[in-house]
Structure 1
Amino acid sequence: MPVVAIAGGTSTGLGRALTVAILESADRHWTPVILSRSDKRPPWLRAIDADGLVPVVAVDYMSVASISDALRTHKVHTLLSVALAKDGSQNRLQLNLVEGAREAGVQRYVPSYWGLGVEAYRHVTVMRMGAEGVWEACEKAQRETGMQCARFNCGGFMNYFGIGAHPPARQQQQLTDEELVEQLRQGGGYAAGEDAGEQGVDRDGDMADGSGCYLLKPRGLCAEVPLSPSGGYPRFTTTTLRDVGRFVAAALELETWEGDMNIVGDTVRLDEMIRTTEALLGKKLAVETISPADLDKQIGQLRMPDDFMKLLWLELKREHAKDEVGNGVLDGNVNRMCPHVKPVSFKEYMHAQWS
């Protein structure tokens, strides 16, 4: 069976989503290998791989040799990167992965994009810094070695809208590690309740109450959303983390990829999202809107580097406000390539979490 390596694969978000989906594939055609800074196996992996058949390989992302050696040793065909460095080394990490994949003879490579369309990477500072020169390095490797490269884009993670729907299960029940692993095993790698709903999404959104939500906070009956330049509500492409994993697992079976592989769980206007949430909860949301001009003004008032994360979320809202295909709105070519994968819609997700 061909081998697919997942750099950053021990994470509870995309790493878990990709690994679980690959292992759940009906024909189990691919053998997963996880690359990580440590060879420690996270509880969710112990739950779904009790026999330790999925290796976790410790690599130094700052060393091309370390990366290429690991890829070569495991005869990796496809490398998927969801690796993240929050210490300012994300760009170097990404460039090293491209070069390591190239040296090891990897046939397909996916850099760490996994967000809005590629246009956003030109305008969102954090994303631009982490991706600077990476796609150009991918294109160069593709021209010179034939290594096929693709950026997977999936919009905003739908799981942000599930924050607060469930009590923090482990804190409430005081689960031991063994009990947690068993609960994760029963849920196929996801513990029932909060974990299955949020699916490892980082609680780092910019809602004023510090909840970590983004755009909507159903628990607090409030919303903070941008408006388009015309004053209307923009469209928003959003996908659950697990559906991203399912689409990528299905895409592994395709002979060729396009340069941009766009995954769409659902595309909904922000006012429709608000109405769906209100109908579900039976209560009105307090909605705060912000214009593109006000977003620009707030961005101009930030003090760097202290306000770095505030800048990220404000710039993301500015990109969403543009209501442009290829930016905050995606054309789901992967959906068309893999029609058997049926993603969860926004309405379905909200009903599952908040009913």
Structure 2
Amino acid sequence: MVTVAIAGGTTGIGSNVLCEIIATGKHQVLVLSRSERPELEQQGISVRVVDYSSRHQLVEALKGIHTVISCIWSFGRDFGTSQLALLEAAKDANVKRFVPSDWATDHYDYVSAYASKSTIWHAVRNSGLEYTRFVNGIWMNLWGMGAPRNEAEALAGYSGPPFLIDLKKRTAIIPGDGSHKVVFTNMMDVGRFVAASLDLQYWAPDSTIVGDKLSYNEVVELAEEVTGHAFERTYCSETEITRVLAENPDPMQLFFYQFMKLIVDGALDFEGTLNAKFPDLKPVKARQYLNRYWANE
């Protein structure tokens, strides 16, 4: 048993990691939050309110902690400064293991908004702590927006917009010719693999998780089959992606097209190292996910 602190454990990926670690019944878990979380306290989950600008407060909050898992999720300067502050405090508090907030791809050079992740990763590798980063591709939960059955479960805490495929509107923007394989993983399964990883004696620098692997053409065909509706498909060629990126678009459009570039270059096609280590963990496949929340929509 170890004591785990989850930074950003109240929403999104953090809430899934929190729930799945608790479900094992093996470890003590607490949440680091910028504000009081009475709803968690009522469930018996310890919450330590922290100010990421106060090194002393962070160090005090991390005393007695074995593993810190960062699920801090934001864009801009705060994302980097908060995590670096957390890392430095973890070192001072004699934390043994540290997980930076990645939860998608290790190809930071493709996405300008991920620039701070590269800085953090460099700092983590030179921290002297044992570490790993969890790489899981694109969350299936992006398909949950507007689901006719149990939308909250389908989203699993995801609160952003649909990405490329909008099942409610039955539209799909397909990068390239749609043939490039992409890893998709349910956030609940990410949490299960993270929880299992706490039992490993040693951590590899990279921990990759594969829920399912399909091309965008295959995802759209599957969505059409499951829902019984045709989707409006718009193909965005590699030439078009390159052209838009060269025009210095606004930040949101830049992120969108850089991520499509990531897909067409095959950077989201990888094997699951944790799948191999934990063969008894059977992640949800795309067909299962879509059938559960969208069948006969």
Q: 77, 84, 91: which is aligned to 2:73? A: 84
Q: Return the alpha-carbon distance in structure 2 between the equivalents of residues 85 and 220 of structure 1.
A: 27
Aligned to 2:155, which of 176, 198, 201? 198
State the alpha-carbon separation in 2 of the partners of residues 157 and 41 from structure 1: 28
| Alignment partner, residue 353 of structure 1 | 293
Match of 1:183 in 2: none
Q: Which amino acid in the other structure matches residue 158 of structure 1?
A: M
Distance, in Å, in 1 between the alignment partners of 2:34 and 2:293 is 33
Structure 1's unaligned 5+ residue stretches are: 167-191, 204-211
1:122 is the counterpart of 2:120: no
Distance in 2, matches of 1:214 and 1:149, equals 30
Distance change (3 Å), C-alpha of 1:195 and 1:346? same
Residue of structure 2 in register with 1:321 after alignment: 264
Secondary structure of 1:141's counterpart equals coil
Q: 1:89 to 1:232 in 2, by over 3 A?
A: closer
Q: Give the residue type in structure 1 aligned to 2:37.
A: K
Mapped partners of 2:203, 2:243: distance in 1: 40
TM-score (norm 1): 0.79
Q: Does 1:33 align with 2:30?
A: yes
Residue 156 in structure 1 maps to residue 155 in structure 2: no
TM-score (norm 2): 0.94
The Cα offsets for residues 123-151 of structure 1, whole Å up to 9 and x where unpaired, read as 200012x2132112111112xxxx20111
Q: Deviation at 1:298?
A: 1.6
Give the conservation status (yes or no) of the 8 Å contact 1:10–1:41. Answer: no
Is 1:59 equivalent to 2:50 in the alignment?
A: yes
1:38-53 equivalent positions in 2, closer than 5 A: 38-42=35-39, 45=40, 50=43, 52=44
Distance 1:114 1:87 in 2: 17
| 1:174 corresponds to | none
Give the match for residue 20 of structure 1. Answer: 19
Q: 1:5 maps to which residue?
A: 5
The equivalent of 1:284 in structure 2 is 230
Take 1:85 and 1:63, find their aligned partners in 2: how far apart are those partners? 19
* 1:36-89 CA-partner distances (Å, limit 9, x unpaired): 1112234xx36xx53x2x2111111123322221101xx100100001344522
2:100 to 111, 115, 118: 111
Residue 261 of structure 1 corresponds to which residue in structure 2?
Answer: 207
Indicate if the aligned counterparts of 1:109 and 1:150 stay in contact, CA closer than 8 A.
yes
Residue type of the partner of 2:193?
A: F
The AA in structure 2 aligned to 1:267 is K
Structure 2: segments with no counterpart, 5+ residues: none
2-structure distance, mates of 1:29, 1:331:
28
Contact 1:6 1:82 (C-alpha < 8 Å) held by counterparts: yes
One-letter amino acid of the counterpart of residue 136, structure 1: H
1:330 is aligned, of 249, 266, 270, to 270
Superposition RMSD in Å: 1.6
Deviations 1:254-282, CA, capped at 9 Å, x for gaps: 11111010011111111111111111122
Per-residue CA distance 1:299-353 (angstroms, 9 max, x = gap): 23345xxx21221121111101112xxx312210011111221100011000001
The DSSP-based 3-state class of the residue aligned with 2:127 is helix
Shift of 1:232: 5.2
In structure 1, what is the Cα distance between the partners aligned to 2:210 and 2:76?
Answer: 30
Q: Answer yes or no: is the 8 Å Cα contact 1:80–1:109 preserved in 2.
A: yes
Matched-pair contact (CA < 8 Å) for 1:111–1:150: yes
Give, in angstroms, the shift of residue 96 of structure 1: 1.2
Contact 2:59 2:89 in 1 (8 A): yes
Deviation at 1:286, TM superposition (A): 1.2
Structure 1: distance between partners of 2:73 and 2:169? 30
CA distance in 2, matches of 1:250, 1:40: 26
* Preserved CA contact (<8 Å) 2:76 2:113: no
Q: How many residues align?
A: 295
8 Å CA contact retained: 2:227, 2:294:
yes
